[in-house]
Amino acid sequence: MKRGATSLAGILLVDKPAGMTSHDVVAAVRRATGEGRVGHAGTLDPLATGLLVVLVGPYTRLEPYLSSASKSYDARVVFGAETDTDDAEGDVVRTAAVPDGIRDPTFARAALAATLGHSSQVPPAYSAIKVGGRVAYKAARAGEELALDSRDVEVFEAALTGIDPETPAWDVSYTVSKGTYVRALARDLGRACDTAAHLGALRRTASGPLTLDSAVSLDEISRAGAGDRIIDLFIDPFGALGLPVMDAARVDLANGHSLPLPEALDIHESEFVAVRSDGALAGVYRARTGRLVATVVLGSGGAS
């Protein structure tokens, strides 16, 4: 199939394998679908595996509504060394003795509990953040240090699921806010425990209401694309968005005109609504002064 615009519009949940960038996954979906408009919501590093939300066709415009959700991960925090990337793919830049308490589950749970809530996090030097037009990881590769501003993040859950006393390492189940670097959590956890640490492994298990249980492999996507069955892998967009839903006639959606806000729809000023027409997602609207104003209009396309 020639790559370009197709009639496809949907959301794929992909179980990303290790060693691939998120861009690599997008490229694979483009090849499988023949659709040039493919994007993703929430980047995963090459080291990481697990849930990557991939958007196809006009649904790429839904990215802002899917990237803002909290994320859940299974992580391995390895103690004794920091790396320049804050994960196992980097070069060791600092080592430290590991206290005996690291192997104590009671100590581990208390240390993790101390990380819960809001905090200010300095992103890893090897990240895609831009400073003065410079990308942090490109500057780091060139041997330059950029001053990265800290950002407000929140850790909702940090549960100990296991201890490897030999490595030594902790297996941790995290749920965090958008923009939180689990690599940085591992780095800072080591420092808080008077040692050094980095992220040894990471698997994303959920993004908002979407879970890894519903994800498919790239091989499955490739086979579905070859058999013209890719639409069978698309998930329900309304469930993915997790927004209140209202129905509207297609004629009322023409040209992106605003819609009356039904009294029965329990939403407040500036909140979003998913609009359905003929059973398909037609757009996302926002409550403004008693009406619904279009923020994304998907037109007649849209597989539900």
Q: Residues with catalytic annotation?
A: 45
Q: What is the DSSP string of 15-46?
A: EEPTT--HHHHHHHHHHHH-BS-EEEES---T
SS3 of 132, please? coil
Q: Length of the chain in residues, anyone?
A: 304
Q: CA nearest 177: which of 68, 266, 16, 280? A: 68
Scanning the chain, the segments in alpha helix (DSSP H) are 22-33, 63-67, 105-113, 136-141, 182-192, 218-226, 237-241
Query: What type of residue is 263?
Result: E
197: left (phi over 0), alpha (psi -120 to 50) or beta: beta
Torsion angle of the four alpha carbons 257, 59, 44, 160, in this order, in degrees rounded to the nearest 10: 80
Q: How far, in Å, CA of 4 to CA of 33, rounded?
A: 9
Q: Half-sphere exposure of residue 52, counting CA atoms within 13 Å on the CB side?
A: 29
Pairing of strands 71-79, 92-95: unpaired
